[in-house]
Each structure stands twice: as structure tokens, then as C-alpha cells.
Chains A and B, each alone.
Chain A
């Protein structure tokens, strides 16, 4: 359990990753300390979600090392990897609730699968988690009967069921109304402080994120472009971050998909 650097929870060293012909990450170095909330931002398809996949061991890098809680993730065999994942919670983009199970059974799932707790204790734990996200009254509903925001809260309750040391959030605010965004943001922060978790948030939602996190890592072109505190993001004059923060259509990220010259294409032949 005691890793050499107890303050380091996640450490990526010169990580390279590519899908068959497309290079996604081109040498990423990133260290995340225990208890930190870190946001990873960047354009679509920029490798943010890939980074979460590498940390959780669902993807293997072509080169470089990924250390989580002192363990070299790509080198773990299946049972050790599953051992590590018991300490990692993940909130998926759209919740990924089990559609054939009720809200209660969704949250009971990790307890039933990973522990030998008796059913009455599981019941108390599930109700405790549901109370924490304010949805104890919805325990008998099916995921299809929930609104997007409620489903995300249930998924959050399920992800933290086993009190993980690391929480990974894949676009936790996508597709939610502003009220739900606020609720989820506050829950993430509260859970993080209450449970002493290390959190990695992949997101586009700058405003909510800046209120929440200790550090922002900006990915661009497969590399870490900037690594700074949230206050700095608001004031920096880095053109890429400005484009991102202010939602400018054109800038370092071009509006136009690369193609031949417009004039010559429209006139030529």
C-alpha cells in the first residue's frame, strides 16, 4: 500500500498512445498528488478520454509508464488490475447505469459483486449514498424514468459506492441543464473533500470546472500544452486557452477542416 512517493497518486511518464494510424498522445508527463482535483481540458478527440482509459488500465500505452497508487498499470495482470480498479471509481459521460436494474440495484451492484456484506447492511449503505446525492426517494425507479441530471447523480453515487481512492470523471457535465451542472459540481467537490479522493475530471465546461478544481491541465496536439491554476486560466493570454475559454470559432484550433483551397476547388474543373 505504501508507495515510494506517498503524495503521488497518479504519475504518467512520457506516455505515447496511438490508434492504428492515428497518434493520440505524443509523450505526456503528468503527476497528480493525493487529494487533488485536476481538470483535463482540450479539444474534441484530443486524447482526454484516452488519458482516463490509460489511468484505469482499459487502454495500454505503446510506450511510457502509468503509475497509479504505486502500481505500474500496463504491466498488471487481470486479477491485479481488477484489484486496483476496486480503488478507482469512474463516472461515465452519460452515467452508464444498468438499464435493467432499478436505481437501488444499480448502487447495490458494486457491494453485491465486490463484498460479502449481508443484504440489510447493503441496504443501509445504498440508502446512505442515495441520501448523499439527494435521490433516496427515487430508489425504486428505473434509469429510463430518470432525468439526465438525476441519472448522473445516481451514477455518481454508484461510482463512489466503494469509497475509491481515485475518481475519474468523463465529461460529467455534458448534456445537463445549468442547475444539474451546479449540483454535480458541488457533489464532486464535497465527495472529494469528505472521502479524501484524488479526482481527475475530463471536461469542456470551463466555468463550472474552474470553480471546482485545484489545477487545470490543457492538452493540445497530444501533449500537455499548459498546466496551471484555475485563476491563471482566466487571465492568461495564451491564444489556445483564450480560444477555448472564450469560445472563439477560429484560432489555433482552426474552424476549417483541412482541405484544398476553397477558391480553386469551387472554380477549378
Chain B
């Protein structure tokens, strides 16, 4: 019993220290990456390429998901609102949920699954096949040539994708609410416009997605860069990217929401 307890604490201690080690490594990596950004930012064509693979390739899944989420919100929202005779507020409810929360968060989750996992696998594989070492031997810094463009692409793509998600969602809600249920078109939009603040709601939502893009981008390149150079190592790094990205996004969302919207209405 005592020895089991001791073992438990030993495991716990090992877990904590290894996590802290990992965090320290990530912090140092982020610092080096920051230094590499300066060089990388001048190579726009490299970033464009990565925005294509991360952002453009995620466009369809994000737009379609946004449309469906907006439609579902409209159906559910109408169900509740019409009990209180304020079905016209449907636009407000849907738009605020999308712009403030669902747009940035769901987009980041989709992005982590669709694009970031691929980035991790790609960088991990480049490391395993010594492509990064070869680059380093050719006096080309892999951090600025390979890692930084992929990281920047996530930061660039995320707010654009989140905006597309929210827009598709509002259109989806409009299709259900106005076209199918028959809420007044004018009331739908005017209520929405009267209650959605560009600075507080829209800009804060975009700010969130930039933060999420930074976090997800950093996690994906970090896990790829330090993946064990084996098939199993890359597979588990890819899984870790999705899991850690998703959890970080949800945690950051809570922190940002408290910071941004506390004390407002």
C-alpha cells in the first residue's frame, strides 16, 4: 500500500517534470523560431505555398461546416426564441455565437485536424529522412526555410478561415430563418446589426482566431520538429498535435473570453 502510494507520487513527479522539460523545450524553440521569422518573412513565396496547403485546402471543409453550424443554430435558436415571441432576435443570437465563439473555435479545431496534423507529419518525415539535416548542411537554416513559413501560414490562414466560417454560418442561418421559417428579412438583419458591435464582437473574434492560429501553428511545427524519427514517432506526434492543439484552443478561448467579454453587457 505504502509502496504503491510512493510509486504513484513517483509517477506523478516524473510526469510533471517531463511536462515542464517539454514546456521549456517549446519555449526555447519558440524563441529560435521568432529569430528565424525575420528571414522567413522576406520570402513571401514560401509562405504563399504553405498558405495554399494549410489555408486554401481547408477552405471547403470550413465553409461547409460553417454553413451547417449556422443552420443548426437557426433551427435550435428559433425553437427557443419563438416561445418568448422574439423570433426576430434569431439573427442576433446566431451572429453573436458565431462571431464571438464558434467561428474562431470551431475553425481552429477543424484546422488542427485538417492542416496542422499534416504539417506535423510533413516536418517529422523531413526530419526522419534527414532532409532537415541536409538543408542545415547546405547552410540553409531549416527553421527559417521550412518551419517558419508553416507557422506563419497558420497565423495568416486562421482569421481568414474564421471569417469565412462565420459568414457561411450567418448565411446558413438566414437560409433557415428567413427563407424557410419566414422570419422577416429586414428584422433579421437590422436586429443583428443593432446588436453586433464591430469592435467588441467582430474584432475580438478575429483577434481570438489570430491567437489560435499562433498556438496551433506553434504546436504543429514543434511536434513535427521534435518527432522521434520513426513511423511510430511521427504517428504519435501527429496525434499529439491534434489533441494538444484542441485543448489549447479551448483553454485559450476561455481565458480570452473572460478577458474580452467580462463586464460587457
Interface positions of A (Cβ within 8 A of B): 56, 58, 78, 82-83, 85-86, 88-90, 92-94, 96-99, 109-110, 113-114, 155
Nearest A residue to B130 via CB reads: A96
Task: Tell me the bound Cα distance from A58 to B140 in angstroms.
Answer: 13
- Residues of B near A83 (CB, < 8 A) are 139
Query: How many of B's residues come within 8 Å of A, CB to CB?
Result: 15
| Cβ B130 vs Cβ A93 within 8 A | yes
A136 to chain B, nearest CB (A): 22
16 A-B pairs in the complex with CB atoms less than 8 angstroms apart: A56-B137, A85-B136, A90-B134, A90-B137, A92-B130, A92-B134, A94-B130, A96-B131, A96-B134, A97-B134, A98-B131, A98-B134, A99-B126, A113-B139, A113-B145, A155-B134
Nearest A residue to B134 via CB reads: A96
Nearest B residue to A113 via CB reads: B140
- Residues of A near B125 (CB, < 8 A) are 99
B129 within 8 A of A: yes
B209 to chain A, nearest CB (A): 28
From B130, B133, B139, A86 is in contact (CB under 8 Å) with B139
From B129, B136, B141, B145, A58 is in contact (CB under 8 Å) with B136
Task: Tell me the bound Cα distance from A78 to B134 in angstroms.
Answer: 16
Main secondary structure of the interface of A (DSSP, over half): mixed
B255 within 8 A of A: no
- Residues of A near B130 (CB, < 8 A) are 92-94, 96
- Residues of B near A90 (CB, < 8 A) are 134, 137
| Cβ A94 vs Cβ B137 within 8 A | no
- Residues of B near A93 (CB, < 8 A) are 130
| Cβ A58 vs Cβ B133 within 8 A | yes
Nearest B residue to A97 via CB reads: B131
| Cβ B137 vs Cβ A58 within 8 A | yes
- Residues of B near A110 (CB, < 8 A) are 138, 140
A190 to chain B, nearest CB (A): 22
| Cβ A92 vs Cβ B133 within 8 A | yes
From B133, B139, B140, B141, A96 is in contact (CB under 8 Å) with B133
| Cβ A85 vs Cβ B131 within 8 A | no
Task: Tell me the bound Cα distance from A164 to B130 in angstroms.
Answer: 20
- Residues of B near A109 (CB, < 8 A) are 138, 140
Known A-B contacts: A78-B141, A85-B138, A92-B130. Give 18 more (CB < 8 A): A85-B137, A86-B139, A88-B137, A89-B137, A90-B134, A90-B137, A93-B130, A96-B133, A96-B134, A97-B131, A98-B126, A109-B138, A109-B140, A113-B138, A113-B140, A113-B145, A114-B139, A114-B140
Interface residues of B in 129-162 (CB under 8 A from A): 129-131, 133-141, 145
| Cβ B138 vs Cβ A99 within 8 A | no
Nearest A residue to B53 via CB reads: A100
Task: Tell me the bound Cα distance from A58 to B136 in angstroms.
Answer: 8
